[in-house]
Each structure stands twice: as structure tokens, then as C-alpha cells.
Structure 1
Amino acid sequence: MATDSNVTSCGFGSSDLRLPDELRGPLLSHLQTLRGRYLQRGWAGRVGFGSRPAVIVIDLAKYWLDPGQQIGSSLDAVVLATRRVLDAARAASVPIVFTTFAHDPAEPPSPHDRKLRFQFPADAAELFELDPRLNRQSTEKVIRKRYASAFKDTNLHTMLTALSVDTLIVMGVSTSHCVYATCRDATDSFRVIVPREAVGERCELMHEVFLLDIDIDLADVTNVDDVVRHLSEAQGQRPLSR
């Protein structure tokens, strides 16, 4: 995998999309102040963990993880944090779902294609294979999606409700796009938990702002250690079928 020699100070991202050093401290401080003001207005309550968790890993494939790709960036820290949660989920027999992009050269263009003009090589399919460090098992479902949200035009909601899942742990990329959209669609049906070290974004500013928005309005943003501890206490559940 290609590497980026100028990873942002947050441990991941694209060097040309990082916050200037002189702005990072004041910005993060301001975001904390904003969170406090939202708390005073009754936002950012905690949903907590339920008793039937599932894990979803969003788009941790080469196209997002290789800085040499059009929308790729250095996200090794996110992959490693995600693997920690996956190991705990597997030990607890918690259902795990992965997503990647449903690349199809024959798909008709959409209006959104005008916003981002993808530059795919002829053999693009391999770009959307999951990172092998995730150690995906044959019993762990892979959803190939066309849209930002893992719920849109897929059977994810049906699968989760069939398993009586009440808590969805969301990890992957990108914080401001597919992670955010998935949390948005999940929040009316499930308790949503986001381990902060296990989500990432090519742009440091977008990551921090959207992570705050997720924590205020959509999910509990917590740390990986907390999630691993809760998973270790989870009851065994049957895995999702392929």
C-alpha cells in the first residue's frame, strides 16, 4: 500500500488537506466550546449501548486507503483501530457487516456524478476489495452499495431487524460522507455508537466538524477502549449469513 509522508497530526488524512498548525489548537478548542453550548440547549444526550449490538465497517478498501488514489489518503490508524473492535466483536459472536462501493461501468450517470468525476482505471474492481488487515470472515456480510448511506437501496435494515439488533457500531470512512450518512439513516431505528479512533477522513477539518455533529445529533462518539469493553460483555449472537 502506498504511504503518505505528511500524514496529518491527527494520525490520518491527506497532507494537503490538513489544518494549519496555528489553527488546529484554537479550532479544536472552539469545537469543544460549541459542544458545551449545545449541551446547555439539551443536545448531545447519550443513547448508550443496548443488549444486541452489531458492527458495520464502511468502505475500508484500497480506493479510500491508498493515498495514490483519487480520493485515497493515509488511514492506517483507522484500519488498526477498526481491527481492534472487530476482534472483540468476533470474540463475542456479534454480527459484522462490511460495505464497499458497487462499481459498475455500465451504471447510468447520475446528477451527483457532476460533483465528483471519478477516474477509474479499466481494472477498477480490485480497488473496492476490503483491506486484508480487517480479516473478514466468510460469515461476515459484504454490502456493495451505490450511495453514501449503507442503508439506501440495500437490505441492511432488514438484516439488522431480523437479528433483533438494537445497537449499531459504525466505523470506517469517510467521516463527513458515508459514515455520517449511515449514522443519519440508522439513528431513528438503532442506538448508534461511533468509536472515534475507528473513523477517518481525508480532510482534518471536515473530520472534526462532522464528528462533532454526529456526537451532538446522531450517535455517541466514544473511544475504542470503551467499545471493546462493552463488546466483551455482549451476549453471543448468531452471525449474519452471507
Structure 2
Amino acid sequence: MPDPLVVKICGIKTPALLDAAIDSGADIVGFMHVERSPRYVDLETLQELISQARGRVETCVVLVNPDNSTVMEVAALSPDWIQLHGPETPHRVEAIRDEAGIAILKALGIGNAEDVARVAEFADAADRLLLDAKPPKGAERQGGLGVTFDWTLLKALDPNLPFMLSGGLTPATVGEAIKAVRPMGVDVSSGVETAPGVKDAALIRAFIDSARAAHA
């Protein structure tokens, strides 16, 4: 039997969609605490959503290059994970993990072989790695941009290094991605939306069902 696939639904903003993700079988739900994102949730909403999820599903708060006070504000809410989705160095990732006392999911943008070569530098600094499409030059934000990357680049990775896969996945493509890349988990945000930041419960369920079927 293969290890169970971890499915993360990111960019949840409302109690109803949180329930929909949990009911559809998500393993982790992600909340964006990044102001320039269309999926942004403030601290008060974060607290409510994390409380609603507690004991039902793992929670993850996404931060981009956060300062120490932001890290501690989020750590005080006791999510299961903090996802770092910015240009943080391995040293900074370790410092945030030590300071917050919370498991770190480090997202790394992949656009070329050089990016793949850098992945191993983060293996010990973070608790888990998420390989995402590198945002195009001039993009105003990281992640949730609906673009994929060349998965064949990942053949250069150490096969013993587990990682989650993100970047432009949809209910229609996630099965192909799982079969091609064999990640330990998959992460979706824009691929289950009808407009930027607007999640759809039926798309969430379709994504999770497609991912589970491909992994089985």
C-alpha cells in the first residue's frame, strides 16, 4: 500500500468553505495571511477559522517573508503549520520554526534546474517542502497564480526527499501530476475557484476525489 496522499486546500476564507473542504476529505486547510492576496484573511478571521477546524483537520497559515511580530501573532493562534511562501533563506526558516514552535512548510518556486538544485538546502530547515511554480517576473504575489511548471525538472531531485506539489493543479490535471511526479501530497488554491479568491465546494470535492483516485 502506498503511503496516504496529503491533500491541502489553500486560500479558504469562509466557515462554509472550510466545512466543505473538511467534508470532502482534505487533510490540511490553508489560510492566507498575506494582505495583497485575494484570499487574505485577517487575524480575527484566522482565529475563528482555526478554532472551527481544530480537531477536524490540520490547519496551515501562509506567510510571505514575515517579521517576528507577525510570526508570533500567528503562532499564538496555534495552527498546525506555518507555510513560508517568500524568499526566506534556510537560516530564516529555521529561526522562524524555533521562535514559533510550529511545524514549517516551506514553499519553493521551481522554474529551472537551478531552483531544483536549491531544494535540498531547505530539507533540514523545514518540516516539509512544497514545490510550486515560480511566479513570473514582475508578479505582485507568490502562489495561487494558476500556472504549472515543467515537472520533468524534478527528476533531478533526491528520490528520498519527500515533497508536496503545487502550481496550477486542477481537478482535471491533478491525477496526471500525481502519476508523473509521485509527490507525498498536493496543494491547490486557484484550481478550485470560479474567480480569484472565490472557492467552489463542488470543485474542491472533485479535486480531492481525482487526487485520491490517481494515488490509489
* TM bin (shorter chain): 0.3 to 0.5
TM-score, length-scaled by structure 2: 0.37
Q: Which has the higher strand share?
A: 2
Higher alpha-carbon Rg: 1
Higher relative contact order (CA 8 A, sep 6+): 1
For normalisation by structure 1, the TM-score amounts to 0.34
